[in-house]
Amino acid sequence: MDPIVPLQLGGGAVVTIVGLLLLGLVVLTLWSAVEIVDAYEKKALTVFGEYRGLLEPGINFIPPFVSRTYTFDMRTQTIDVPRQEAITRDNSPVTADAVVYIRVMDARRAFLEVDDYKRAVSNLAQTTLRAVLGDMELDDTLNKRQEINARIRKELDEPTDEWGVRVESVEVREVNPSKDVQQAMEQQTSAERRRRAMILEAQGERRSAIEQAQGDKQSNIIRAQGEKQSQILEAQGDAISTVLRAKSAESMGERAVIDKGMETLESIGQGESTTFVLPQELSSLVGRYGKHLTGSDVAVEDGTLESLEFDEETAEMLGLNDIEEILGQIDEEADIDVEEMEKEAEAIKEGDVGGDIKDPDDIIGESDADLETETE
């Protein structure tokens, strides 16, 4: 075995090694003495375990090798609250989870007053969530989400203030009852929808029947008005026709008498006598004959034939002077009835068919109130 020969270094090599060691020590010291803090952070500084203060954003120089820093994020942070099970006031099991938004307001208190502020806030939020749900009924836990959020935040404010942490918001994400309760709620919802559908259907049928009855009523009124006008006009026509037939018969009888008289005059004129004694009514007879020659219902003026008017007695007997007035009254009554019918039709169209048709929600509310009264 060869003997161990000690390593012999020259003076220059020793100096080089020592220099490198010193350089490394200087670099390590500088690295340990410089602490860089981000803009959204603050760091708590301890030297030999003693709290010395907070380091602000930027470059900070600290005692090397004996210092330790703890970082605090000063931005808003989110903490998920795990799903919690609770029993409501009416003994219904529910599960719920939430999210809490917090911000560190005092890094010194967050460092000195609590071990882990995030875990502390999460545990406190869990117990508070269970307590709030247990103090409410099932319907309230499902419907009053904002109230739950406000109560949880209020319960968290006081202890978290002592830790230098502010709770900015609490949001309950889900509140779920047990499966049995969910099935019962679905059945109740289905029954409620069926009841509403039946009420709406009954209301629709009732409204349709009322509108149909109103329409039939208006139709009957219009039909009656038409029949009334038709009968009046038909009666007026029959009266005029009857009078005309009577006057025609009278005219024909008078014409027969005149014709007979003229035949007598003709036979007298054929005699041998040259002297004739004529009746006093000869001029009247000739005038009446001339009238029949020109027509009993026309008059001649300036060579033009014009229809003769009925005399005053005949016109009054026929009621010709009142025809226009009667027709005007009929038209006025018809216009009034039509306007009223249009108003009623418009009211039916707008749904104003009476005050006895209630809204389905009002009917449902009344039935629920009656049911609660019977239960009490």
CATH at residue 161 = 3.30.479.30
- Mean pLDDT lowest among 6-15, 123-132, 135-144, 219-228: 6-15
Q: Would the pLDDT of 22 be above 90?
A: no
Inform me whether the pLDDT recorded for 6 exceeds 70.
no
In 270-359, alpha helices (H): 282-294, 312-318, 320-349
**Residue the block writes with tokens 């999460």:** 122
* Confidence class for position 311, pLDDT limits 50, 70, 90: low
Predicted pLDDT of residue 60: 93
Neighbouring C-beta atoms of residue 136, cutoff 10 Å: 21
Point out the least confidently predicted range of 45-49, 66-70, 244-248: 244-248
**Banded model confidence at residue 304, pLDDT cuts 50, 70, 90:** very low
29, part of any domain: no
Tally of domains in the chain: 2
Does 321 or 192 have the greater pLDDT score? 192
**Residue finishing a domain among 226, 246, 266:** 246
- Euclidean distance between CA atoms 106 and 74, whole angstroms: 9
Same domain, yes or no: 196 and 150 = no
Domain-located, residue 371: no
Half-sphere exposure of 213 (CA within 13 A, CB side): 7
Domain assignment present for 60: no
The CA–CA distances, whole Å, from 318 to 72, 231, 245, 263, 326 equal 115, 16, 12, 36, 13
User: Could you tell me if 224 and 166 lie in one domain?
Assistant: no
SS3 351: coil
CB atoms closer than 10 angstroms to residue 181? 16
Identify whether 260 is part of a domain.
Answer: no
Q: Residue 228 is encoded by which pair of tokens?
A: 């009334």
Q: Please report the pLDDT score of residue 333 as a whole number.
A: 53
Residues 168 and 111 in one domain: yes
pTM of the entire structure? 0.50
Q: What is the pLDDT of residue 121?
A: 95
- Claim to verify: residue 165 and residue 86 sit in the same structural domain: yes
Please choose, from the candidates 364, 362, 356, the residue with its C-alpha nearest in 3D space to the C-alpha of residue 194: 364
State pLDDT tens for residues 90-123.
998 999 999 999 999 999 999 999 999 999 999 9
- Predicted confidence at residue 178, as pLDDT, reads 85
- For 148, the domain range is 73-177
pLDDT confidence bin for 327, thresholds 50/70/90:
low
Residue 116 and residue 172 share a domain: yes
CA distance 191 to 3: 104
Q: How far apart are CA 128 and CA 123, in angstroms?
A: 9
- Is 95 part of a structural domain of the chain? yes
DSSP label at 178?
-
Residues 170 and 93 occupy one common structural domain = yes
Q: Are residues 167 and 189 in the same domain?
A: no
Q: Is residue 15 part of a domain?
A: no
| Same domain? 154 vs 92 | yes
Confidence category of residue 196, pLDDT binned at 50, 70, 90 = confident
3-state secondary structure of 153: helix
Question: Angle formed by the axes of helices 320-349 and 179-269, to 10°?
Answer: 170
Region 138-148: what's the mean pLDDT? 91
Same domain, yes or no: 142 and 232: no
221 against 136, higher pLDDT: 136
pLDDT for 71 beyond 50: yes
Q: What is the pLDDT of residue 298?
A: 45
Q: How confident is the model at residue 7 (pLDDT cuts 50, 70, 90)?
A: very low
The pLDDT tens digits of the residues spanning 26-36 come to: 888 888 899 99
Q: Quick one: tokens of 348?
A: 């039916």
- Segment 234-255 shows an average pLDDT of 68
For residue 108, the model assigns a pLDDT of: 94
Say whether both 85 and 147 belong to one domain.
yes
Query: In the listed set 130, 160, 177, which residue is the last one of a domain according to the structure?
Result: 177
Residues 170 and 78 in one domain: yes
Of 231, 246, 261, the residue at which a domain comes to its end is 246
Q: Are residues 173 and 184 in the same domain?
A: no
Q: And the tokens for 343?
A: 């108003």
Give the whole-number percent of the chain exceeding pLDDT 70.
61
- Report yes or no on 362 lying in a domain: no
Closest CA to 177 of 74, 283, 86, 70: 86
Residue 108 lies in a domain: yes
What CA–CA distance (Å, rounded) separates 158 from 33? 38
Instruction: Tell me how far CA of residue 129 lies from CA of 72, 164, 344, in angstroms.
Output: 26, 22, 61
